[in-house]
Chains A and B, each alone.
Chain A
Amino acid sequence: MAKIFIISFLMSALTGTGVYLMLKNDNKKIGVVDAVRLFDQYNMKKELEDKAKVKLQMLGKQMDSVENLLNMAKAVKNDDGIKKMSYAYSYVRSYVENEYKQSNKEINEQVWKRLNSAIDAYGKSKGLHLIIGANGMGSVLFNDDYYDLTSEAIKYVNKKYEEGN
């Protein structure tokens, strides 16, 4: 009788511990955020791109003008003109390409600098223990809507950006 009591007591204790651990794991909240969507839909990114676009479009037009001059020189078969304009065109083209690269690099850095701290604040406000960033490169193979917090995170980071703290 005593043995049966001890065995049933041990089994109840084991079951209880199992249930407790399961519940404890359930409380470890995890979310998945699509990093590409988050980046693209961050208001500051759009605004910085719009600002940069004005300068880059102007440079693009200057490059087109030099290309037109080169084409004209080619049309009239002016060898000296072709030589000068080819040099000018390759110089302007590499300058414009560098400006594009530099502008993209600066925007990326500034946006991620802000997004990292905003996502950190979002995770804390939601009581999350882990946020997985899906980036379309296979880091997350599948997640259902239950774990997908992308829309909510976008809303949160944009509100934080627009209103300050």
Chain B
Amino acid sequence: MKKVISLYGSLLVILFFIGCKKSLKGHEYVGFIKEEKNGLKKTVAIDGWEYTIQYRPIEYILLQENDDKGREKRKQELKGTACFAIKIKRADNSVSPLRYNLESRDEYDKRLNYFLNGAAKDIKLLYNQTDTLYPIAYEFENNYNLTPEETMLVGFTLPGKEDAPKEDMQLSFSDQIFKNGIIKVKIKKDDLNNIPNLID
């Protein structure tokens, strides 16, 4: 009988530890989110190009924005959304994508205009394999060619009343400028459930 109780006890302890989420401090939390092996950031390499898609949980965005005063208000704004950053760069970091193999000033303006005004219509999110979502927020981070990469920030409203995504998500971007076809990445439900808690 004693053996059964101790075995049962050990099992409960093991289950408790498995069920517990990690808790991490700010910089460790950011590191966890940015680490590709944790499944929240994915890179698709195509013929010398790299498209990196980073899922940005609410706590991660708040840490990046570092605005203590407006934190609660911003948190409320972000509830019920799924946000991503899409970065595009040449694999060798040789030149900014906007300037890569340019033939004229017009071509540069066309590219810039696409990323400022047109790219949002080519981005969508398939949530839980059933709901196709279109961006409610889009921003192109114009870095004026200071870094050799371009970043698009995009947000979607989740269906239902979920505060944060809990199901599989597949982000797709149909690149109309660099002719690399459709870029897709999947953020898995299990990886979303493994996101640690943030220690304030």
Contacts and interface: CB of A to CB of B under 8 A. Distances in A.
B186 A109 contact: no
B181 interface: yes
B165 to A, nearest CB: 16
Contacts of A110: 179-181
Contact of A164 (B42, B47, B181): B42
A163 interface: yes
B184 A164 contact: yes
Contacts of A111: 181
Contacts of B46: 113-114, 117
Interface in B37-92: 42-47, 53
B180 A113 contact: yes
A165 B44 contact: yes
Contact of B181 (A113, A162, A165): A113
B128 interface: no
A55 B185 CA distance: 26
Contacts of A48: 181-182
B134 to A, nearest CB: 16
A44 B170 contact: no
A44 B45 contact: no
Interface residues of A, number: 16
Contacts of B151: none
A165 B36 CA distance: 10
Contacts of B36: 165
A160 to B, nearest CB: 9
B127 to A, nearest CB: 15
A161 B51 CA distance: 13
A30 B43 CA distance: 29
B174 interface: yes
A162 B186 contact: yes
A164 B186 contact: yes
Contacts of B181: 44, 48, 110-111, 113-114
A150 B43 CA distance: 26
A164 B44 contact: yes
A4 B45 CA distance: 63
A44 B44 contact: no
Nearest to B179: A110
Nearest to A111: B181
Nearest to B186: A163
A57 B24 CA distance: 54
A144 interface: no
B42 A161 contact: no
A113 B45 CA distance: 11
B163 to A, nearest CB: 25
Nearest to B44: A164
22 contacts: A44-B182, A48-B181, A48-B182, A106-B179, A109-B179, A110-B181, A113-B47, A113-B181, A114-B46, A117-B45, A117-B46, A161-B184, A163-B184, A163-B185, A164-B43, A164-B53, A164-B185, A164-B186, A165-B42, A165-B43, A165-B44, A165-B185
Interface of A: 44, 47-48, 51, 106, 109-111, 113-114, 117, 161-165
Interface of B: 36, 42-47, 53, 170, 174, 179-182, 184-186
Given A48-B181, A109-B179, A117-B46, 16 more contacts: A44-B182, A48-B182, A51-B174, A110-B181, A113-B46, A113-B181, A114-B46, A114-B180, A117-B45, A162-B170, A163-B184, A163-B185, A164-B43, A164-B53, A164-B185, A165-B185
